[in-house]
Amino acid sequence: MLRELVDLQPYNTLALHARAAVFCEPVSQEELLAALSLARSRQLPVLPLGEGSNIVLTRDYPGLVLRLRDNRIQLLREQTGTVLVRVGAGLNWHQWVQQSLDNGWYGLENLALIPGTVGASPVQNIGAYGVEVAQFIDSVQGVYLDSGEAFDLDNKACRFAYRDSLFKQALAHKTVITSVVFRLSTVPAVHASYAALRDYLAEHHADEPLTPTLVMEAVCAVRRSRLPDPHLLPNVGSFFKNPQVSPEQFVALQQQYPAIPHYPGEQGRVKLAAAWLIDQCGWKGRCLGPACVHEHQALVLVNRHGASGEEMLALADAIAADVLARFAVRLEPEPWIW
Protein backbone atom coordinates (compact mmCIF):
# COMPACT_ATOMS: atom_id res chain seq x y z
CA MET A 1 0.00 0.00 0.00
CA LEU A 2 2.82 2.45 0.84
CA ARG A 3 5.77 3.16 -1.42
CA GLU A 4 8.84 5.21 -0.51
CA LEU A 5 10.76 7.78 -2.59
CA VAL A 6 8.39 7.85 -5.55
CA ASP A 7 9.03 10.15 -8.53
CA LEU A 8 5.84 12.19 -9.01
CA GLN A 9 6.49 12.98 -12.68
CA PRO A 10 3.73 10.62 -13.93
CA TYR A 11 1.36 12.05 -11.30
CA ASN A 12 1.39 15.77 -12.21
CA THR A 13 0.20 17.18 -15.55
CA LEU A 14 3.16 19.57 -15.86
CA ALA A 15 5.33 16.41 -15.83
CA LEU A 16 7.71 17.91 -13.23
CA HIS A 17 10.18 15.69 -11.43
CA ALA A 18 9.90 15.71 -7.62
CA ARG A 19 10.02 12.79 -5.20
CA ALA A 20 7.45 11.97 -2.52
CA ALA A 21 8.97 10.58 0.69
CA VAL A 22 5.94 8.27 0.96
CA PHE A 23 3.22 7.63 -1.65
CA CYS A 24 -0.11 5.89 -1.11
CA GLU A 25 -3.23 5.18 -3.19
CA PRO A 26 -5.89 4.16 -0.65
CA VAL A 27 -8.89 2.33 -2.10
CA SER A 28 -11.07 2.54 1.00
CA GLN A 29 -11.73 4.85 3.96
CA GLU A 30 -9.94 2.31 6.21
CA GLU A 31 -6.79 2.43 4.09
CA LEU A 32 -6.94 6.22 4.04
CA LEU A 33 -7.24 6.41 7.84
CA ALA A 34 -4.39 3.91 8.26
CA ALA A 35 -2.15 6.02 5.99
CA LEU A 36 -3.05 9.22 7.87
CA SER A 37 -2.33 7.61 11.20
CA LEU A 38 1.06 6.46 9.94
CA ALA A 39 1.81 10.01 8.76
CA ARG A 40 0.88 11.32 12.22
CA SER A 41 3.10 8.82 13.98
CA ARG A 42 6.04 9.73 11.70
CA GLN A 43 5.14 13.45 11.85
CA LEU A 44 4.92 13.66 8.06
CA PRO A 45 3.01 16.42 6.25
CA VAL A 46 0.28 15.13 3.91
CA LEU A 47 -0.48 16.19 0.34
CA PRO A 48 -3.65 14.96 -1.43
CA LEU A 49 -2.79 15.05 -5.13
CA GLY A 50 -5.83 14.15 -7.27
CA GLU A 51 -4.51 13.96 -10.84
CA GLY A 52 -1.92 16.65 -10.14
CA SER A 53 -3.51 18.99 -12.69
CA ASN A 54 -3.33 22.11 -10.54
CA ILE A 55 0.06 21.96 -8.85
CA VAL A 56 3.57 23.19 -9.67
CA LEU A 57 6.16 21.02 -7.93
CA THR A 58 9.42 22.88 -7.43
CA ARG A 59 11.06 20.43 -5.00
CA ASP A 60 10.72 17.02 -3.35
CA TYR A 61 7.79 16.49 -0.96
CA PRO A 62 9.07 15.41 2.46
CA GLY A 63 5.79 13.73 3.49
CA LEU A 64 2.93 11.48 2.42
CA VAL A 65 1.37 12.02 -1.02
CA LEU A 66 -2.16 10.61 -1.36
CA ARG A 67 -4.04 9.64 -4.50
CA LEU A 68 -7.55 8.54 -3.66
CA ARG A 69 -8.98 5.71 -5.73
CA ASP A 70 -12.67 5.66 -4.75
CA ASN A 71 -14.62 6.24 -7.98
CA ARG A 72 -18.09 5.04 -7.04
CA ILE A 73 -21.25 6.81 -8.20
CA GLN A 74 -24.21 6.41 -5.86
CA LEU A 75 -27.72 7.77 -6.49
CA LEU A 76 -28.88 8.99 -3.07
CA ARG A 77 -32.27 10.50 -3.82
CA GLU A 78 -34.52 11.29 -6.76
CA GLN A 79 -37.18 13.99 -6.45
CA THR A 80 -39.26 15.76 -9.04
CA GLY A 81 -36.79 17.34 -11.39
CA THR A 82 -33.60 16.71 -9.39
CA VAL A 83 -31.26 13.97 -8.25
CA LEU A 84 -28.72 13.88 -5.43
CA VAL A 85 -25.68 11.80 -6.36
CA ARG A 86 -22.62 10.99 -4.26
CA VAL A 87 -19.40 10.54 -6.25
CA GLY A 88 -16.08 9.18 -4.98
CA ALA A 89 -13.21 11.68 -4.96
CA GLY A 90 -10.99 9.52 -7.18
CA LEU A 91 -13.22 9.50 -10.26
CA ASN A 92 -11.78 11.34 -13.27
CA TRP A 93 -13.76 14.58 -13.68
CA HIS A 94 -14.55 14.23 -17.39
CA GLN A 95 -15.69 10.61 -16.94
CA TRP A 96 -18.15 11.85 -14.30
CA VAL A 97 -19.46 14.60 -16.60
CA GLN A 98 -19.97 12.00 -19.36
CA GLN A 99 -21.68 9.53 -17.03
CA SER A 100 -23.97 12.17 -15.54
CA LEU A 101 -25.12 13.11 -19.03
CA ASP A 102 -25.57 9.42 -19.99
CA ASN A 103 -27.84 9.02 -16.95
CA GLY A 104 -29.96 12.04 -17.88
CA TRP A 105 -28.61 14.12 -14.98
CA TYR A 106 -27.99 17.58 -16.40
CA GLY A 107 -25.89 20.59 -15.41
CA LEU A 108 -22.22 19.69 -15.79
CA GLU A 109 -21.95 19.75 -19.61
CA ASN A 110 -20.09 23.09 -19.76
CA LEU A 111 -17.41 21.66 -17.47
CA ALA A 112 -16.53 18.80 -19.83
CA LEU A 113 -12.84 17.97 -20.42
CA ILE A 114 -11.52 19.87 -17.38
CA PRO A 115 -8.51 17.83 -16.22
CA GLY A 116 -8.52 16.43 -12.68
CA THR A 117 -10.65 14.43 -10.28
CA VAL A 118 -14.07 14.83 -8.69
CA GLY A 119 -12.40 15.32 -5.28
CA ALA A 120 -10.37 18.27 -6.55
CA SER A 121 -13.31 20.00 -8.24
CA PRO A 122 -14.64 21.88 -5.17
CA VAL A 123 -11.19 23.06 -4.01
CA GLN A 124 -10.78 25.74 -6.66
CA ASN A 125 -14.45 25.68 -7.68
CA ILE A 126 -13.64 24.69 -11.27
CA GLY A 127 -15.46 26.71 -13.90
CA ALA A 128 -15.73 27.13 -17.65
CA TYR A 129 -18.04 28.56 -20.31
CA GLY A 130 -20.29 30.43 -17.90
CA VAL A 131 -20.74 27.67 -15.29
CA GLU A 132 -19.04 26.93 -11.96
CA VAL A 133 -19.19 23.55 -10.22
CA ALA A 134 -20.44 25.24 -7.00
CA GLN A 135 -23.84 25.67 -8.70
CA PHE A 136 -24.25 21.87 -8.60
CA ILE A 137 -22.59 20.90 -5.33
CA ASP A 138 -24.91 19.93 -2.48
CA SER A 139 -22.18 19.00 0.01
CA VAL A 140 -18.58 17.86 0.35
CA GLN A 141 -17.32 15.00 2.54
CA GLY A 142 -13.80 14.35 3.73
CA VAL A 143 -11.40 13.87 6.58
CA TYR A 144 -9.25 16.31 8.58
CA LEU A 145 -5.62 15.40 8.01
CA ASP A 146 -4.45 16.03 11.58
CA SER A 147 -7.14 14.13 13.48
CA GLY A 148 -8.56 11.69 10.92
CA GLU A 149 -12.01 13.00 11.91
CA ALA A 150 -14.69 13.01 9.18
CA PHE A 151 -16.55 16.15 8.00
CA ASP A 152 -19.61 16.82 5.85
CA LEU A 153 -19.97 20.46 4.74
CA ASP A 154 -23.00 21.84 2.93
CA ASN A 155 -22.66 24.16 -0.06
CA LYS A 156 -22.88 27.37 1.97
CA ALA A 157 -20.24 26.22 4.46
CA CYS A 158 -17.82 25.61 1.55
CA ARG A 159 -17.73 29.41 0.84
CA PHE A 160 -17.42 29.04 -2.90
CA ALA A 161 -16.24 32.03 -4.94
CA TYR A 162 -14.45 32.51 -8.28
CA ARG A 163 -11.70 29.82 -8.34
CA ASP A 164 -11.89 29.75 -4.55
CA SER A 165 -13.41 27.93 -1.56
CA LEU A 166 -12.90 27.20 2.13
CA PHE A 167 -10.52 24.42 1.01
CA LYS A 168 -8.14 27.07 -0.41
CA GLN A 169 -8.63 29.41 2.55
CA ALA A 170 -9.23 28.44 6.20
CA LEU A 171 -8.99 24.70 5.47
CA ALA A 172 -6.09 24.93 2.99
CA HIS A 173 -3.88 21.82 3.28
CA LYS A 174 -5.89 20.63 6.29
CA THR A 175 -8.29 18.16 4.66
CA VAL A 176 -8.62 15.42 2.12
CA ILE A 177 -11.92 15.33 0.24
CA THR A 178 -13.30 11.79 -0.08
CA SER A 179 -16.59 12.40 -1.92
CA VAL A 180 -18.83 15.12 -3.34
CA VAL A 181 -22.64 15.10 -3.42
CA PHE A 182 -24.03 16.77 -6.56
CA ARG A 183 -27.56 18.10 -7.09
CA LEU A 184 -28.35 17.77 -10.78
CA SER A 185 -31.44 18.34 -12.87
CA THR A 186 -33.41 15.61 -14.66
CA VAL A 187 -34.96 18.30 -16.83
CA PRO A 188 -32.66 19.31 -19.72
CA ALA A 189 -31.47 22.91 -19.46
CA VAL A 190 -28.60 24.54 -21.30
CA HIS A 191 -26.18 27.39 -20.62
CA ALA A 192 -24.90 28.55 -23.97
CA SER A 193 -24.44 32.32 -23.68
CA TYR A 194 -20.64 32.36 -23.17
CA ALA A 195 -19.27 34.14 -26.27
CA ALA A 196 -16.91 31.40 -27.51
CA LEU A 197 -19.60 28.74 -27.08
CA ARG A 198 -22.36 30.82 -28.64
CA ASP A 199 -20.17 31.62 -31.66
CA TYR A 200 -19.25 27.96 -32.15
CA LEU A 201 -22.89 26.81 -31.96
CA ALA A 202 -24.02 29.56 -34.34
CA GLU A 203 -21.35 28.59 -36.85
CA HIS A 204 -21.68 24.79 -36.71
CA HIS A 205 -25.16 23.95 -35.41
CA ALA A 206 -27.30 27.00 -36.23
CA ASP A 207 -30.43 25.04 -37.13
CA GLU A 208 -30.34 22.39 -34.42
CA PRO A 209 -32.22 22.52 -31.13
CA LEU A 210 -29.90 23.21 -28.18
CA THR A 211 -29.61 20.08 -26.05
CA PRO A 212 -27.22 19.31 -23.18
CA THR A 213 -25.49 16.75 -25.44
CA LEU A 214 -24.95 19.34 -28.16
CA VAL A 215 -23.60 21.85 -25.63
CA MET A 216 -21.18 19.27 -24.29
CA GLU A 217 -19.98 18.47 -27.84
CA ALA A 218 -19.48 22.18 -28.49
CA VAL A 219 -17.57 22.68 -25.21
CA CYS A 220 -15.28 19.76 -26.11
CA ALA A 221 -14.69 21.15 -29.62
CA VAL A 222 -13.93 24.67 -28.35
CA ARG A 223 -11.61 23.39 -25.62
CA ARG A 224 -9.77 21.07 -28.03
CA SER A 225 -9.21 23.95 -30.45
CA ARG A 226 -7.68 26.25 -27.81
CA LEU A 227 -6.40 24.32 -24.82
CA PRO A 228 -3.54 21.83 -25.06
CA ASP A 229 -4.20 18.24 -23.90
CA PRO A 230 -1.95 17.78 -20.84
CA HIS A 231 -1.18 14.19 -21.96
CA LEU A 232 0.40 15.55 -25.13
CA LEU A 233 1.78 18.89 -23.93
CA PRO A 234 2.23 19.16 -20.14
CA ASN A 235 0.25 22.07 -18.58
CA VAL A 236 -2.03 22.96 -15.66
CA GLY A 237 -4.72 24.86 -17.60
CA SER A 238 -4.89 28.56 -16.72
CA PHE A 239 -1.71 29.51 -14.89
CA PHE A 240 -3.23 32.75 -13.54
CA LYS A 241 -6.64 33.72 -12.24
CA ASN A 242 -8.52 36.39 -14.15
CA PRO A 243 -7.74 39.51 -12.06
CA GLN A 244 -10.49 41.69 -10.59
CA VAL A 245 -10.01 45.46 -10.40
CA SER A 246 -11.97 48.41 -8.97
CA PRO A 247 -14.48 50.17 -11.29
CA GLU A 248 -12.24 53.28 -11.20
CA GLN A 249 -9.17 51.36 -12.37
CA PHE A 250 -11.26 49.66 -15.04
CA VAL A 251 -12.57 52.97 -16.45
CA ALA A 252 -9.00 54.30 -16.65
CA LEU A 253 -7.83 51.13 -18.43
CA GLN A 254 -10.76 51.17 -20.84
CA GLN A 255 -10.00 54.75 -21.85
CA GLN A 256 -6.53 53.70 -22.82
CA TYR A 257 -7.49 50.28 -24.26
CA PRO A 258 -11.11 50.47 -25.55
CA ALA A 259 -11.07 46.79 -26.65
CA ILE A 260 -10.15 45.42 -23.21
CA PRO A 261 -12.35 42.33 -22.50
CA HIS A 262 -14.19 42.54 -19.18
CA TYR A 263 -16.85 40.72 -17.19
CA PRO A 264 -18.82 41.44 -14.03
CA GLY A 265 -16.63 40.54 -11.04
CA GLU A 266 -17.32 39.94 -7.38
CA GLN A 267 -18.35 42.67 -4.91
CA GLY A 268 -18.73 45.33 -7.59
CA ARG A 269 -15.30 44.73 -9.09
CA VAL A 270 -14.58 44.20 -12.78
CA LYS A 271 -12.98 40.97 -13.96
CA LEU A 272 -10.35 41.26 -16.70
CA ALA A 273 -9.09 38.54 -19.05
CA ALA A 274 -5.56 37.68 -17.93
CA ALA A 275 -5.05 35.99 -21.32
CA TRP A 276 -5.66 39.29 -23.10
CA LEU A 277 -3.29 41.23 -20.80
CA ILE A 278 -0.55 38.63 -21.36
CA ASP A 279 -1.21 38.56 -25.10
CA GLN A 280 -0.92 42.38 -25.28
CA CYS A 281 2.50 42.13 -23.64
CA GLY A 282 3.59 39.93 -26.55
CA TRP A 283 4.05 36.71 -24.59
CA LYS A 284 1.75 34.41 -26.58
CA GLY A 285 3.77 31.53 -28.08
CA ARG A 286 7.04 32.81 -26.53
CA CYS A 287 9.39 30.78 -24.32
CA LEU A 288 11.78 31.52 -21.51
CA GLY A 289 14.21 28.62 -21.66
CA PRO A 290 12.25 25.34 -21.73
CA ALA A 291 9.01 26.90 -20.40
CA CYS A 292 6.59 28.37 -22.94
CA VAL A 293 3.31 30.25 -23.35
CA HIS A 294 0.82 28.29 -25.43
CA GLU A 295 0.32 29.62 -28.94
CA HIS A 296 -3.50 29.51 -28.84
CA GLN A 297 -4.20 30.58 -25.24
CA ALA A 298 -1.87 33.02 -23.52
CA LEU A 299 -3.13 31.99 -20.07
CA VAL A 300 -1.74 28.48 -20.41
CA LEU A 301 1.94 27.84 -19.75
CA VAL A 302 3.32 24.65 -21.22
CA ASN A 303 6.32 22.53 -20.33
CA ARG A 304 7.59 22.08 -23.86
CA HIS A 305 11.19 21.07 -23.23
CA GLY A 306 11.42 19.27 -19.89
CA ALA A 307 11.38 22.39 -17.70
CA SER A 308 11.73 22.23 -13.92
CA GLY A 309 9.17 23.76 -11.58
CA GLU A 310 11.56 26.67 -10.98
CA GLU A 311 11.81 27.30 -14.73
CA MET A 312 8.00 27.31 -15.08
CA LEU A 313 7.85 29.85 -12.23
CA ALA A 314 10.57 32.02 -13.79
CA LEU A 315 8.40 32.34 -16.90
CA ALA A 316 5.29 33.09 -14.78
CA ASP A 317 7.22 35.78 -12.85
CA ALA A 318 8.48 37.42 -16.04
CA ILE A 319 4.93 37.54 -17.45
CA ALA A 320 3.43 38.91 -14.23
CA ALA A 321 6.15 41.61 -14.06
CA ASP A 322 5.37 42.77 -17.62
CA VAL A 323 1.61 42.85 -16.99
CA LEU A 324 2.15 44.82 -13.78
CA ALA A 325 4.46 47.32 -15.49
CA ARG A 326 2.13 47.90 -18.43
CA PHE A 327 -1.37 47.71 -16.87
CA ALA A 328 -0.71 48.12 -13.11
CA VAL A 329 -2.63 44.84 -12.65
CA ARG A 330 -1.24 42.11 -10.42
CA LEU A 331 -1.65 38.52 -11.71
CA GLU A 332 -2.07 35.76 -9.14
CA PRO A 333 -1.13 32.16 -9.95
CA GLU A 334 -4.08 29.78 -10.12
CA PRO A 335 -2.33 26.43 -9.38
CA TRP A 336 -0.84 25.63 -6.02
CA ILE A 337 2.93 26.16 -5.90
CA TRP A 338 4.98 23.66 -3.85
Active-site residue list? 163, 238, 334
CB-closest chain residue to ligand EPU:
237
E strand or H helix at 284, and its extent? Answer: none
For position 244 contacting ligand EPU by CB under 6 A, the verdict is no
Measured between alpha carbons, how far is residue 184 from residues 63, 130, 179, 323 in Å? 37, 17, 16, 40
Select 182 or 276, whichever has its Cβ closest to ligand EPU.
Answer: 276
Select 34 or 324, whichever has its Cβ closest to ligand EPU.
Answer: 324
DSSP state of 253: H
Q: Which of 65, 298, 319, 331 binds ligand EPU (CB under 6 A)?
A: 298
Contact between 183 and 136 under an 8 Å Cβ cutoff? The reply is: yes
Least separation in angstroms between residue 189's CB and ligand EPU is 18
Q: Which of 106, 167, 276, 327 binds ligand EPU (CB under 6 A)?
A: 276
Q: Which of 68, 105, 171, 284 binds ligand EPU (CB under 6 A)?
A: 284
Contact between 297 and 275 under an 8 Å Cβ cutoff? The reply is: yes
Select 2 or 233, whichever has its Cβ closest to ligand EPU.
Answer: 233
Close Cβ partners of 281 (under 8 Å, ≥ 6 residues apart): 319, 322, 323, 326
Window 79 to 138, contacts with ligand EPU (CB under 6 A): 128-129
209: buried, middle or exposed (CB in 10 Å: 19+, 13-18, 0-12)?
exposed
Q: Which of 297, 301, 320, 331 binds ligand EPU (CB under 6 A)?
A: 297
Provide the terminal-to-terminal Cα distance of the chain, rounded to the nearest Å: 24
For position 196 contacting ligand EPU by CB under 6 A, the verdict is yes
Secondary structure, 3-state, 133-162: HHHHEEEEEEEECCCCCEEEEECHHHCCEC
Least separation in angstroms between residue 146's CB and ligand EPU is 30
52: left (phi over 0), alpha (psi -120 to 50) or beta: left
Q: How many residues bind ligand EPU (CB under 6 A)?
A: 19
Q: Which residues sit at the interface with ligand EPU, rule CB under 6 A?
A: 128-129, 194, 196, 227, 237-238, 241-242, 261, 273, 275-276, 279, 284, 297-299, 334
